[in-house]
Chains A and B, each alone.
Chain A
Amino acid sequence: MSQSATTPDNGWRKHMPVINAFLRYGILIIIGFMMLYPLFWMIGGSFKNNQEIFSSIGFIPKEPTLDGFKKGWETSTEYTFATYLINTMKIVVPKVIVTVISSVIVAYGFARFAIPGRKLLFALLMATVLLPKSVLLIPQYLMFREFGWLDTYLPLIAPQAFAVEGFFVFMIIQFMRSLPMEMEEAAVMDGCNSFQVLTLVVAPVILPAIISVALFQFMWSMNDFLQPLIYLSSVEKYPVALALKMSIDVTEATSWNEILAMSTIALAPSLILFFVAQRYFVEGITSGAVKG
């Protein structure tokens, strides 16, 4: 890709790299701007009054106001938006924790043990990644109804304690397989049992994979809509996703700034985490595709 600069055969060829870079930057900047514009517009819109949202497509508010945040925070219900944010965390935090623990334990079993039926189990694990969730929806609902779990967070959290997301287990297995085993063998020589090897030797080394899993599960759970929609019926237990959906049903016609402001707040945790930890996302998503 670098040789054309050194062959001075004609003027056009000489300028190739410059034209090339110019074109690439041009394409990237224009598309990038168009892609991020809806986000800029959302954030800007939350600081505008409603007339301005409808009258100008610029994203920088001319008369910045916090009205959208104030009114949006109060919501049209008897609870403030804080309730919904706290509810979301009550679902997401335990979900992330049990997902990480169960996925690491199961992945360790797959990566380091001779298990009977290992190939079949691994195939089943991968099959769960491809299985459409809607085919499980109704029986799971009926099952949790029998358990008396409707309108609680348990249906959203409990299954995750059993490593039901094959994608995460697979990610950690791939990571474990790429590690040299000398350290672990040495620990066994020193008298560690397999669980001590896992917690003392393996866990610290696979931390990047653990962070990737935690981040993906955090984002997916923040975004999850269908499950809370089915299982939660009392408004006081709603997470942000349901509260936002409710807000467009009630106030959409009039108060866009309130809804945009609350959407901005709803996305803020994900946005911040993404910018702080984006390399873990990139590594997570590529580990399965390329190493595998």
Chain B
Amino acid sequence: MFNDKKIGSLYVAPFVIGFLLFTAFPFVASFVLSLTDAQLQDQLGSANFTGLQNYTEMGRDATFQKSLGVTFFYVFITVPLKLAFALFIAVVLNFKLRAIGFFRTAYYLPSILGGSVAIAIVWRFVFAGDGLINQALEIIGITGVNWLGEPNTAMFSIILLRLWQFGSAMVVFLAGLKAIPEDLYEAADLDGASRVRQFWMITLPLLTPVLFFNFIMQIVQAFQEFNGPYIITGGGPLKSSYLLPLMIYEEGFKYFNLGYSSALSWVLFVIIAVFTAIAFWSQKHWVFYAQDREDKNGGAQK
């Protein structure tokens, strides 16, 4: 609306300054730090340049390899399950139901509260040896497991906490479902297509843009999981829930190895960047934008 570039730049200036100072500079600085042996307690000037040593160190660091493995395990289990569940509930909810508002609220609430320390603590109590789940199992005659004390089940509690927060993805799916024109289903009904077939041939293709958005957001979020392992399991037992963000924190602020911690954070960054790049690159093969198709058809008619 306004063409004055100087005034426009003035409005955007806070972002540009903030981006340079709080994002771009720290981003580059952490890579530089990752090439040094900087320690938290020392003056920065006293750090030595060590080249790629921090990165080669990871090849020998069994803790890092364990952490990387459990991080992938966590993300690969959590994200698909969460998206599938969010989509399933959204489809069930997308119906002329009474009290739809009530259900939507009930399902959405956990994703708002779930990131808090308070909920993480409740979760710790729910999964504790004498906690809610084991008490419930006892009633039906099953001896409980020490969920947080066993390497095989500790991660399970964190995964469940994040699955519990499927609401925000569900709300986005629901908005996507509402945007699908009703007449498509009516036409499919006339053609005798079953509900299941309608889901695969109409609903899912038209939801792919929303699925794409949810997938990116969930991947980025899952790789940064910190509160869960820090508060619920402490990363244990035997590092079985020692997710990479927790390791980055502990290397930096518990063991004071700023150089190594920075290198780890760059590995995490590269992993997330690769996943988002693959998602963006592949979207032309599976994400269906209705607008594109209309444009192409329009072009063909001309």
Interface residues of A (CB under 8 A from B): 1, 3, 20-21, 24-25, 27-28, 31-32, 35-36, 38-39, 41-42, 45, 54-57, 102, 105-106, 108-110, 112-116, 121, 124-125, 128-143, 159, 161-164, 169, 181, 184-185, 188, 194, 219-220, 222-223, 225-226, 230, 240-242, 244-245, 248, 252, 256, 259-260, 262-264, 266-267, 270-271, 274-275, 278, 281-282, 285-286, 288-290
Contact = CB atoms under 8 A, between A and B. Distances in A.
The 8 nearest A-B residue pairs measured at CB: A162-B18, A113-B8, A109-B11, A139-B26, A263-B118, A139-B29, A109-B12, A286-B175
Interface in B91-121: 92-93, 95-97, 103-110, 112-113, 115-119, 121
B117 A128 contact: no
B21 A162 contact: yes
A116 B5 contact: yes
A42 B92 contact: no
Contacts of B112: 219, 270, 274, 281
A127 B29 CA distance: 18
B8 A115 contact: yes
27 contacts: A3-B186, A24-B92, A28-B89, A31-B89, A32-B103, A35-B110, A55-B135, A115-B9, A135-B268, A136-B30, A138-B261, A162-B14, A163-B14, A181-B1, A184-B1, A194-B4, A225-B116, A230-B253, A241-B116, A248-B121, A264-B118, A266-B116, A267-B116, A278-B105, A282-B171, A286-B175, A290-B172
Contacts of B123: 38
A260 B121 CA distance: 8
B26 A27 contact: no
B220 A114 contact: no
B121 A286 contact: no
A242 B8 CA distance: 41
Interface string B244-256: 0100110011000
B15 to A, nearest CB: 4
B171 A285 contact: yes
A132 B268 contact: yes
A205 to B, nearest CB: 14
A36 to B, nearest CB: 6
Contact of B176 (A105, A108, A252, A289): A289
B30 A256 contact: no
Nearest to A108: B11
Contacts of A36: 106, 109
B175 A289 contact: yes
B97 A25 contact: yes
Given A24-B95, A132-B269, A289-B214, A106 B1 contact: no
B288 interface: no
